[in-house]
Amino acid sequence: MIFKICGLTTLADALAAVDAGASMLGFNFYPPSPRFIAPDLCAQITSVLKEKHPEVIRVGVFVNSSLPEVTRILDACTLDLAQCSGDEPPALLYKLGPRAFKALRPTSEKDLQNLLGIFPVRSTPPAYLVDAYRPGEYGGTGQSADWGLAARLARKYPILLAGGLNPGNIARAVTQVRPWGVDVASGVEEKPGLKSPAKMNDFIQNAREAEEEYSS
């Protein structure tokens, strides 16, 4: 299973996330978010990560950014992927191609099918990220995604499950959804933007134990 620690704002937290077992790290470029990071600071962090942990996938989280802005930040911060978490038009995803994947926030089976018909699926994992729907908000709410819808999608595509995950519920989420990977931000924090190494370790350990249980 892939573990993505998102909303990182410091090098210490990024390195602690890798030590805990994360293989994807997320950096949030949405200014209203309490986990926002300036591109210049992100570039300093990713330059160290690229040297020390080149195997780790570095992800930029964008909300309703333009194509020039996304590509500029991807290049300046040496990021591998763009996670489009807003109300982006499908054309943006098509233009970014394999450099991007869409965060879906379905509210029903019909809504999910409509979203799948609009947004392209990545040819390599993750195909999509599934997050919780909350009007006017774009992730990081602490609210759980619809695990039933996510499980149906996970049977067809390699997805990242996000939304309200924490060390206490991750085992149940993994057992029910069986996703390709999981994504956490607020659930492993001391306060918004600052991670807890202990919580990151517990989160990943609990997820791994649940995966081993259903795989055995």
Q: Which one from 13, 42, 77, 131 is the annotated catalytic residue?
A: 131
Instruction: Give the integer Cα–Cα distance in Å for 177 and 13.
Output: 27
Active site annotation includes 146: no
In order of 11, 16, 53, 112, 209, the CA distances from 101 in angstroms are 25, 25, 22, 16, 28
Residue 42 is a catalytic residue? no
- Cβ pair 82, 62 in contact under 8 A: yes
Residue for token pair 């950096």: 27
Name beta bridge partners: 194: 191
Q: Are 183 and 161 in contact (CB under 8 A)?
A: yes
Three-state SS at 82:
strand
User: Which residue is catalytic, options 6, 42, 77, 84?
Assistant: 6
Active site residues: 6, 131
